[in-house]
Amino acid sequence: RFVIKMQYKQLWVRNLKLSDAGIYTCEYGTHKVRTSLHIFKLMISLDGHFLQNEVPELSLMQNSSSPLPDLRITLFDSNNNTVKPELQNKSRQKYIMNLKKLEAVDSGTWVCQVHSDSPLIDQNIPFAVKVLGFQNPNLERKYATVDSSVILSWHLNTQKIKWKEGFTGQLNWKQQESANPHELLDFNATAQGQLHETKKSSNFLFEIPERKPESTIEVKLPKVHFNHSGQYQCQLEYQGRHAQSKIELVVMKVSAKPVGPLSRGANMTLTCQVSGPLQPNAYLRWERVNGTKMDIKNSKHNEVKLEVNISVAGLWSCHLIEDSDRKISLHYHVEEAAVWTNYVIIGASVGGSLLVFALGCLCIISNISWQRRRQRAKRMAQARQHLLENKTCQCQQ
């Protein structure tokens, strides 16, 4: 490891070790020159390969022939932001620090800046940090309407950091946090860093899009049902450790009661409903397109179902609004019954009433006539019986 280059009067030391620290003397004739070699050794846990939300441990050791100085350490992440480490152990020989929870954007070259006033030390030590994880937010929300199509995507940074093979993962779905998960697909990385996916569920209607960017996990719901809502969690595994990212799918549906054209003077109830709890700053709104302020109704806090009673036909819209931003809208067209239809309905109602009245009168008349015929038949039967008994016939003038 030691090479002397005579023409330059240099001593080259390769693959430095802590034990190489000390005082080196160069003798040339009667001249002696001493040089003090101070050595630092920086180590990072897990060989610098992490999953998101993991906390690296950084160790800095030093060795010198003179008394070891008290160091001031400053860390800079890959975006050149200052990171304040949590110091676990401090001796002048070894400093052990815990860094922050890592995110996918933290991948890159970090710098450990070492400073001392006596002796004067101002050294920058670069080290690599690779964070395998999702570039999605911690909890992403996706909105869809019933019978529409939606694509759920998880973006991994495997290509960006040139991660090698050895990680696997799966995509699960469950309607509620406490519900049992259903595995939709699993995936693994090839030697070239590409993802290979396998569909697992046969009872769930979804597709795996063929064309997509590399290092992207996607599922497509070609026709969203109201019960397709819930949490879709993509989980990544590497050497027994896990990282995950969730997408909350919120589905909206609208309905009317009664269904059909709205007659003049009649009322109809429109119902708008979303599948899951809303954010504190979100609410539902019914409004009639090109209508007035009287045609607007907002839901109350934490309401996931909003009903509105209408008597005016037209195009009605239900919006899910979050921070004054319309996340999703669903329209319902209320048709107005034709005028002749109203007349037919009125005529049918009046005619039906008259028909019922006529049938009632007919029944009463028939009943009276039947009673009279019954009484006449009874009297004739009594007269015949009387004639048979007396065998006489009396005629009255």
Among 11-20, 232-241, 326-335, 372-381, the minimum mean pLDDT is found in 372-381
Q: The tokens of 120 are what?
A: 């004067």
pLDDT at position 213: 76
Instruction: Report the pLDDT averaged over residues 317-346.
Output: 79
The answer on pLDDT for 293 being more than 90 is no
Higher pLDDT, residue 329 or 214: 329
Nearest to 149 by CA among 260, 200, 225: 225
Q: Where are the domains of the chain?
A: 40-132, 140-251, 258-334
The answer on pLDDT for 109 being more than 80 is yes
Instruction: Report the pLDDT averaged over residues 38-51.
Output: 94
**Concatenated DSSP letters for 244-276?**
EEEEEEEEEEEEEES-SPBPTT--EEEEEEESS
Instruction: Report the pLDDT averaged over residues 354-383.
Output: 70
pLDDT at position 315: 93
Give the whole-angstrom CA distance, residue 106 versus residue 360: 87
Instruction: Report the pLDDT averaged over residues 185-205.
Output: 82
Phi-psi region of 314 (alpha: psi -120 to 50; beta: other; left: phi over 0): left
pLDDT at position 381: 67
Nearest to 237 by CA among 161, 171, 175: 171
Instruction: Report the pLDDT averaged over residues 293-307.
Output: 91
- Give the rounded percent of residues in the chain with a pLDDT score beyond 70: 88
Q: Give the number of other Cβ atoms within 10 Å of residue 127's Cβ.
A: 15
The answer on pLDDT for 396 being more than 60 is no
Among 41-45, 269-273, 292-296, 327-331, the minimum mean pLDDT is found in 292-296
Handedness of CA 382, 384, 390, 395 (dihedral sign): positive
The answer on pLDDT for 113 being more than 70 is yes
Which residues fall within 8 angstroms of residue 122, CB to CB, at 6 or more apart? 113, 114, 115, 116
Query: Do residues 234 and 245 touch, judged by C-beta distance below 8 A?
Result: yes
pLDDT at position 349: 59
Helix, strand and coil content of the chain, in percent to the nearest 5, comes to 20, 50, 35
Instruction: Report the pLDDT averaged over residues 60-87.
Output: 92
- ω before 119 within 30° of 0 (cis)? yes
Give the whole-angstrom CA distance, residue 313 versus residue 261: 8
CATH classification of 40-132 is 2.60.40.10, yes or no?
Answer: yes
The answer on pLDDT for 393 being more than 60 is no
The widest CA-to-CA distance across the chain, in whole angstroms, is: 183
Among 174-178, 301-305, 368-372, the minimum mean pLDDT is found in 368-372
Higher pLDDT, residue 393 or 365: 365
Please report, as a single letter, which amino acid is at residue 133. Answer: G
Give the whole-angstrom CA distance, residue 6 versus residue 12: 11
Higher pLDDT, residue 228 or 28: 228
CATH classification of 258-334 is 2.60.40.10, yes or no?
Answer: yes
Give the whole-angstrom CA distance, residue 226 versus residue 55: 39
pLDDT digits (tens, 9 = 90+) for 156-185: 887 777 776 778 999 999 988 778 889 999
Nearest to 262 by CA among 224, 310, 328: 310
Among 138-152, 206-220, 240-254, the minimum mean pLDDT is found in 206-220
Phi-psi region of 200 (alpha: psi -120 to 50; beta: other; left: phi over 0): alpha
Give the whole-angstrom CA distance, residue 326 versus residue 320: 6
Alpha helices (H) in the chain, listed in sequence order? 158-161, 339-390
Q: Give the best-scoring range by mean pLDDT among 41-55, 160-174, 365-379.
A: 41-55
What is the band of 75 on the pLDDT scale with cuts at 50, 70, 90? very high
CATH classification of 140-251 is 3.40.50.720, yes or no?
Answer: no
pLDDT at position 351: 59
Which residues fall within 8 angstroms of residue 91, CB to CB, at 6 or more apart? none
Please report, as a single letter, which amino acid is at residue 250. Answer: V
Residues in the chain: 397
pLDDT at position 143: 94
Q: Which long-range contacts (CB under 8 A, 24 or more apart) does 195-199 make?
A: 195/156, 195/158
Give the whole-angstrom CA distance, residue 85 versus residue 78: 15
